[in-house]
Each structure stands twice: as structure tokens, then as C-alpha cells.
Homo-oligomer: A and B are copies of this chain.
Amino acid sequence: MIRKANEMRVDTKNDWLGGKGDVGLVHIMEREEFLGKGRLFALNILKPGSSIGMHTHKGEMEAYYVVKGEGLFEEKGEKKPIKAGDLGYIGVGQSHAIENTGNTDLEFIALILFE
């Protein structure tokens, strides 16, 4: 099955989880397509200055794979530079945040799998 880009479900989150600005979410896969193993495989788009606030993943992991731009990935009290080609990974029960500190959109693919 092919799902064209313009057929994907899109969400916009404002000041998400205590972050700033807007986050666009393009849902690449829908819930039933995960075979019960996860719940998110989505392109996240953050304009310059936008962020997703610190939040915790109980009973699941999350991976952020950056495809465009650059920013800061925060975990365990530390903000670390991240850019296109890099992965930010947190395990079950861990917390993270991300901020676009560049001059172009920050785009990353988020994957959530259950414990």
C-alpha cells in the first residue's frame, strides 16, 4: 500500500507539553499498522524557536531521528546539540525535550514502541 504525503493525517500542537510555538505532526503510519507494538511514527516539524517541552514516556521508548535542521535535545538535565542524521533515543520511563535553535525548520521522525 502506498500512502502519499498529501494523504497523511496532520496535527498541529501549540505550546506542546510546555514548549513554545507550533509543532506540525505528519502521521506516517496509523495505529492499527503498528501490530500492537507501538503508537507513533510521525514527521515532526518545528519552526525556528519552537520546542517540545520536557515529558516522560512511561511504558514506552521514543526515538527522534533528525532529517533536517538542528537543535538541542535535552535529557538528564543536559542540553545536547542534535542535527540532520543524528538520533536522540530515550528508553522506557525516561524524559526528554527538544528545541529548534537553528534558522531553518527542524524536522525529525519520532518512533514510539511499547515496553
- A residues contacting B by CB (< 8 A) are 1-5, 8, 28-29, 33-35, 37-38, 41, 61, 63, 65, 67, 73, 75, 80, 82, 84-92, 109, 111, 113-115
A22 to chain B, nearest CB (A): 19
Is A113 within 8 A of B67, CB to CB? no
Within 8 Å by CB of A2, from B3, B82, B111, B114, lies B82
Contact residues in B for A89 (Cβ distance below 8 Å): 1-3, 29, 33
Contact residues in B for A8 (Cβ distance below 8 Å): 87
Interface centre among A2, A75, A85, A114 (most CB of B within 10 A): A2
Contact residues in B for A29 (Cβ distance below 8 Å): 63, 87, 89
Within 8 Å by CB of A73, from B2, B34, B85, B88, lies B2
The 9 closest A-B pairs by CB, nearest first: A5-B85, A37-B37, A3-B87, A37-B113, A1-B89, A2-B80, A28-B65, A4-B86, A28-B87
A84 to B34, CA, bound (A): 22
Is B37 within 8 A of A86, CB to CB? no
Other than the given A4-B86, A28-B63, A37-B37, 4 more pairs (CB < 8 A) read: A1-B88, A4-B85, A5-B86, A37-B114
